[in-house]
Structure 1
Amino acid sequence: MPTERVHLPCGRDVRASLDTDADADALVVACPPHPQHDGHRHDARLGAVSDALPDRIDCLRFDYGPWDGGRGERADARTAREWAADRYGAVGLFGYSFGGGVALLTAAEVATPVAALSPVARLDDGSDVAAAVPRIDAPLWVGYGTRDDTVDSAGVADAARDCGGTVETFPADHFFVGQERRVGERVAAFFDAAL
């Protein structure tokens, strides 16, 4: 799938890569992991999801603007979602780790199908991700590794399960080494049904 560079219009320096197919009618916005821990749009988990999406669904992988403790990063995700909503008939949100928390909080503000892989329970600014999950009025998927000792996603997964969302576990640690493709396929299957 060809990739185009995109500069999202906002007051922050938000750059993105659009993995696109000429016939796509839907798009997934992919939120990267924590930018202060080398999180970026070229993350292997984001790439695996983009690669697994069917041709009818494009993927916009973006880098957050300057670090803002979670507030600005959520604004970046909203900007990316708005950009996508102006161009596509259906939009979903995906995020990994910190990006999973960002995606879930964004979906709680604007009803959007959302998938979060190993989401954090709280952003650096104190935003409670698990508490926001019940406000999501759209299809919801949460996945995490059973050997994850980096992020405790159990509270977010419990909240998703309580709201009727889909929760999947993987025999993996936080990084899903060697399982990126399988994870990508599971997330892509969710979006293929939700979008």
Structure 2
Amino acid sequence: MTRPVIVPGARDVRGRLDEASADGAESDAVVVACPPHPQHGGSRSDARLRSVADALGERGVDCLRFDYGPWDEGVGERADARDAAAWAADQYDAVGLFGYSFGASVALCAATDLDLRALSALAPTARLGPDLDAVAVLDRIDCPIQIAVGERDDTVDWAPIAERAAELGREVERLPADHFFVGRHDRVGELAAAFLASELGENS
């Protein structure tokens, strides 16, 4: 089951809450999913976000997929992720964060101010802007982190994030894929969902 959500905050942020079907019980855990670049067609309907939401639902975890407010060079989008996570924290006992591409870096940059159980970043890029360094924030995120990258990805600069995450002892998954994970959407959905559900205390 899915239902619309209007995220409280200064910007117009709307999403869809995918409610888990496992055992028919309400979930006490949710993952907030940050979409890829909105100026390149990224939205809450992204296939990778939907794959993660489906795999989470099978594990009893809800998923909030949202669309950013008006384009704001990454700054407003980071605020949108924080507002969505704040809404989630008011509704659930355990909150995780997921993002793909631009959204993965948004999630990393937002996480320093959030009380999260876990964060999974798929194909993040090292920098969103002059003041949004996704590599530097890795040192300031307290929750467990999973970084997943495609080894054939030549679309974003993912290597500095993967290298720093490995240095910090974070989980780094390297897949034989390009940036878009063509033919591997189910694989990345299962990978992220297994990690997140485990850290959120749900069935993995």
- TM-score between both structures, scaled by the size of structure 1: 0.96
Q: What residue number does 1:165 align with?
A: 170
Q: Spell out, residue by residue over 1:116-173, the C-alpha distance to the aligned partner (whole angstroms, 9 max, x if none).
A: 0000111135411001111111110000101001012111111111222100011110
- Separation in 1 of the partners of 2:90 and 2:70? 25
What secondary structure sits across from 1:178 in the alignment? coil
Q: What residue number does 1:23 align with?
A: 26
Q: What residue number does 1:182 align with?
A: 187
- Separation in 2 of the partners of 1:150 and 1:126? 21
Say yes or no: does 1:75 pair with 2:79.
yes
Amino acid at match of 1:97: S
The answer to whether the Cα contact below 8 Å between 2:85 and 2:114 also exists between their aligned partners in 1 is no
What secondary structure sits across from 2:66 in the alignment? strand
- Separation in 2 of the partners of 1:132 and 1:124? 13
Q: Structure 1 segments of 4 or more deviating over 6 A?
A: none
What secondary structure sits across from 2:169 in the alignment? coil
Tell me, which stretches of 5 or more residues in structure 1 are unaligned?
none
Amino acid at match of 2:190: E
Q: What residue number does 2:37 align with?
A: 34
Q: Spell out, residue by residue over 1:39-89, the C-alpha distance to the aligned partner (whole angstroms, 9 max, x if none).
A: 100000000000111342100000000000011000000000000000001
Amino acid at match of 2:33: A
Aligned-pair RMSD on alpha carbons? Answer: 1.1
| Segment of structure 1 superposing worse, 48-57 or 183-192 | 48-57
Amino acid at match of 2:193: A
The answer to whether the Cα contact below 8 Å between 1:65 and 1:76 also exists between their aligned partners in 2 is yes
Q: What residue number does 2:50 align with?
A: 47
Identity of aligned residues (%): 58
What secondary structure sits across from 1:72 in the alignment? helix
- Separation in 2 of the partners of 1:125 and 1:164? 26
| Segment of structure 1 superposing worse, 4-13 or 139-148 | 4-13
